[in-house]
Amino acid sequence: MAVAKTTADKIANVGNEALHDAMEKGMSGLNDMTSHSRKNLEAVIASVTAAAKGAEALGSDTLAFSKAAMERQTAAVQSLASVRSLQDLVEVQTDLAKTHAEAYVAQMGKTTALMTSLFRDAFQPFNARMTAAVESVQSAR
């Protein structure tokens, strides 16, 4: 009977240790998941913040361009009003077309740079999280 009790105690101890180890691993895994979730949420917040800043910069730049375009239009009307000959009209129209085309091309370059920056900054936190996830999976191997 003493042998049976000793064997039962050993089995109980092994079972308790296994249960304890499993619970520790489970809690560790839960802590890791919580940490990853928190970092993912932080990445979303950083991404939205970067996108909002980029959209604000884009809006401000577009507003400034629109204001400058209206000023150019006012100056264009004044130039056209002062035309005295057909040759003057052609020269003024040519200059206006050139000025407007150059301004448009310059604005598209600025807009492209702002959009590129906006997307890069907005997706950077997600890229960092994906890199961390890949590293986590590779280190678990």
Domain region containing 126: 2-140
C-alpha span between 128 and 131 (Å, rounded): 5
- Asked if residue 136 lies in contact with residue 65, where contact means CB atoms within 8 angstroms, the answer is no
C-alpha span between 19 and 112 (Å, rounded): 59
- Asked if residue 100 lies in contact with residue 68, where contact means CB atoms within 8 angstroms, the answer is no
The answer to whether the predicted template modeling score (pTM) of the entire model surpasses 0.75 is no
Share of the chain above pLDDT 90, in %: 59
pLDDT in tens, 64-90: 999 999 999 999 889 888 889 999 999
Number of independent structural domains in the chain = 1
Evaluated on CA atoms 46, 47, 48, 54, the torsion sign reads: positive
pLDDT in tens, 5-35: 788 788 888 888 888 888 888 888 888 888 8
Residue 50, Cβ neighbours under 10 Å: how many? 19
